[in-house]
């Protein structure tokens, strides 16, 4: 039976979150902040405890007060079975661990209990949806909806269809998340890592290379991104940054003037050999840098900073 819309994107009232770890819990927070009813299922023993911790962590910047959080909790229901979680769902967000066989079996189980016309989005960051659908009964209604952590603060979302996903399903998911406050990129086809993670991986690899060769410290590398690249990229992205970098001629003039610089061996894109020694070096250096601020302060600074940046960009009109 072909998929058909049974609940318009602006009429969704109840969503189900399957899995409520770091990413899934972030989705719970986001959906609650948008006024939706949220039903949660996660078989992990400490799932409820961890979700409560995430809710408290997000309280200052998302909900504003304990009273507001308490009101939102009235729209949150934690259930004991997958069937209960799916019974009234008008949209489903899956955030199970990144284990292919687990997701393949989970998608089959979801299909057993969920109306065939309800869209299912997966938070996967590294698995291809086509690979996860080997056991699915209704593969046409599954689509990757990949957020960035913390998903209740970062606006960007990638919607990535599988070879089975109907265009109408992808379009429905894009519109739903736009209404839910996300900036959505609908990707035409599957590529490993999608867009955001491939960019993130390229920068991360170069940072690790420079750290490995003692060319830069963790503090210097983070500062270069945070204070140098990020503010411009936040406002414009890399293409528009270069486009606006010259007084006349835009990106064409920029390429003509500066393209030779990018042919220089400044980047080492192949992944470095992540040896135990290198892992230890990364851990020690990162923990040393973090200890100067404190873990709690790092999270608070991150959340408050993201809120301020997103608001500033919005106020300018982007």
Under 8 Å between Cβ of 184 and 195: no
What is the predicted pLDDT for the residue at 99? 95
DSSP state letters, 29-48: HHHHHTT-EEEEE--STTHH
Least confidently predicted of 68-77, 155-164, 272-281:
272-281
Decide which of 293 and 131 is more confident: 131
Contact partners, residue 154, CB within 8 Å, separation at least 6: 147, 148, 306
pLDDT for residue 281 is more than 90: no
Q: Give me the pLDDT at residue 234, please.
A: 81
Give the DSSP H or E segment for 188.
none
Confidence label for 96 from pLDDT (cuts 50, 70 and 90) = very high
- The mean pLDDT value for 186-204 works out to 91
Closest to 130 in 3D by CA, of 86, 180, 191, 84: 191
User: What does the radius of gyration of the chain's CA atoms come to, in whole angstroms?
Assistant: 21
Rounded average pLDDT over 169-186: 96
How do 91-94 and 14-18 pair as beta strands? parallel
Alpha-carbon span 149 to 154, nearest angstrom: 7
Beta bridge mates, 94? 18, 122
Q: What is the mean pLDDT of residues 103-129?
A: 95
Tokens of residue 86, six digits: 């799916």
pLDDT surpassing 80 at residue 4: yes
- The answer to whether residue 229 scores a pLDDT higher than 90 is no
Q: What is the pTM of this model?
A: 0.85
CB within 8 Å of 67: residues ≥ 6 apart: none
80-100: average pLDDT: 96
State yes or no: pLDDT of 130 exceeds 70: yes
Q: How far apart are CA 167 and CA 175, in angstroms?
A: 12
Of the candidates 171, 116, 164, 163, the one whose C-alpha atom is nearest the C-alpha of residue 145 is 171
Phi, psi of 122 (to 5 degrees): -110, 140
Average pLDDT of the chain to the nearest whole number: 88
Whether the pLDDT of residue 214 is over 70: the answer is: yes
Q: Decide: 131 and 153 in contact? Cβ < 8 Å.
A: no
Residue found by looking up tokens 């400490």 in the block: 46
Task: Taking residues 189-200, report their average pLDDT.
Answer: 91
Q: Are 205 and 271 in contact (CB under 8 A)?
A: yes
Give the pLDDT confidence score for residue 6 in this predicted structure.
82
Residue 52 clears pLDDT 90, i.e. is over it: yes
Delineate the domains of the chain, giving CATH numbers in brackets. Answer: 9-186 (3.40.50.720), 196-316 (1.10.1040.10)
Q: Is the pLDDT of residue 267 over 70?
A: no
- Select from 38, 170, 131 the least CA-distant residue to 93: 38
Average pLDDT (270-290) is: 73
Of 126 and 130, more confident: 130
For residue 121, the model assigns a pLDDT of: 98
Q: For 221-229, what is the mean pLDDT?
A: 89
Q: Lowest mean pLDDT: which of 7-16, 199-208, 303-312?
A: 303-312
């Amino acid at each position: 039976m072909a998929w058909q819309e049974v609940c318009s994107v602006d009429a969704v009232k109840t969503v189900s979150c399957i899995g409520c770890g770091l990413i899934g819990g972030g989705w719970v927070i986001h959906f609650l902040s948008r006024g939706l009813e949220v039903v949660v299922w996660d078989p992990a023993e400490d799932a409820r405890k961890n979700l409560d911790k995430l809710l408290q962590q997000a309280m200052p910047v998302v909900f504003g007060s304990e009273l507001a959080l308490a009101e939102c909790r009235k729209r949150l229901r934690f259930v004991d079975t997958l069937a209960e979680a799916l019974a009234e769902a008008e949209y489903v967000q899956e955030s199970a661990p990144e284990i292919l066989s687990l997701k393949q079996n989970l998608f089959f189980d979801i299909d057993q209990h969920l109306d065939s016309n309800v869209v299912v989005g997966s938070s996967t960051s590294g698995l291809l949806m086509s690979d996860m659908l080997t056991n699915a009964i209704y593969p046409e209604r599954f689509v990757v909806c990949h957020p960035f952590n913390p998903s209740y603060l970062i606006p960007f979302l990638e919607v990535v269809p599988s070879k089975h996903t109907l265009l109408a399903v992808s379009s429905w998911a894009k519109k739903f998340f736009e209404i839910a406050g996300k900036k959505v990129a609908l990707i035409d086809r599957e590529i490993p890592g999608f867009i955001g993670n491939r960019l993130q991986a390229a920068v991360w690899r170069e940072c690790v290379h420079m750290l490995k060769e003692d060319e830069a410290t963790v503090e210097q590398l983070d500062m270069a991104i945070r204070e140098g690249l990020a503010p411009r990229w936040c406002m414009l992205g890399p293409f528009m940054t270069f486009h606006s970098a010259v007084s006349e001629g835009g990106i064409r003039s920029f390429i003509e003037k500066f393209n030779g610089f990018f042919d220089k061996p400044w980047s080492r894109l192949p992944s470095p050999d992540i040896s135990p020694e290198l892992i230890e070096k990364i851990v020690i250096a990162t923990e040393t840098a973090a200890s100067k601020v404190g873990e709690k302060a790092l999270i608070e600074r991150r959340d408050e900073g993201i809120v301020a940046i997103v608001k500033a960009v919005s106020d300018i009109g982007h």
